[in-house]
Amino acid sequence: MNAIADRHANADVGSIFLYTNEAHPGECYPPHRTMEDKFKHARNLRDRLGVSRPILLDALDGACHRAYGSMPNMSWIFNRVGVPIYKSDWSDAQSVDSAIAYYLDVLKRRRDRERLAPFHVERIDYRRQDREGFRKGLERSGPSAVREFEEAGF
């Protein structure tokens, strides 16, 4: 996602990372009890994953996360007036990049005075499933995160 943000920065596309909560808390990354907990976890995530985009923290009660769907890894794209023009229940770089390219093309077509009418689309996108990487993420959280996920049957 950093690469996508960098690639489109010259087109005046902003990108943020909204840190909401620990999807699979464990002994190493327990549920947030204070905003300081959340700050510490967000800083660690930034450093571990090399997130170069600004990271904003949701409220401790997850108000923003709930308002926008509560999925663990969502992506949204908003136009300049705050209207959502893309929503995905999973952050997939290829899907997000494709959507940004599409909407940048729409802006160009509008500047060229092409008459365009909006319409709603739903589609299924596909992402590579990285079970090994996911397992490593659970292990970073702690043994209870791994155990709880396994007990859920996944």
DSSP string, 40-95: HHHHHHHHHHT--S-EEEPPTT-HHHHHTT--TB-EEEE-TTS-EEEEESB--HHH
Mean pLDDT, the chain, rounded, equals 94
- 3-state SS assignment for residue 43: helix
CATH code of residue 79? 3.40.30
Higher pLDDT, 22 or 109: 109
**Is residue 114's pLDDT more than 80?**
yes
pLDDT in tens, 123-143: 999 999 999 999 999 999 999
Higher pLDDT, 154 or 133: 133
Mean pLDDT of 82-107: 95
pLDDT for position 23: 86
CA–CA distance, 99 with 120 (Å, rounded to integer)? 13
pLDDT in tens, 35-52: 999 999 999 999 999 999
- Please tell me the total count of domains within the chain: 1
- Identify residue 33 by its one-letter amino acid code: R
pLDDT for position 58: 97
pLDDT for position 147: 93
Structure tokens at 93: 């770089």
Q: Give percent of the chain with pLDDT exceeding 90.
A: 90
Confidence of residue 107 (pLDDT cuts 50, 70, 90): very high
Domain span holding position 135:
2-151
86 DSSP β-pair partners: 77
Give residue 64's region: left, alpha or beta (phi > 0; psi -120 to 50): alpha
- 3-state SS assignment for residue 151: helix
**Is residue 154's pLDDT more than 80?**
no
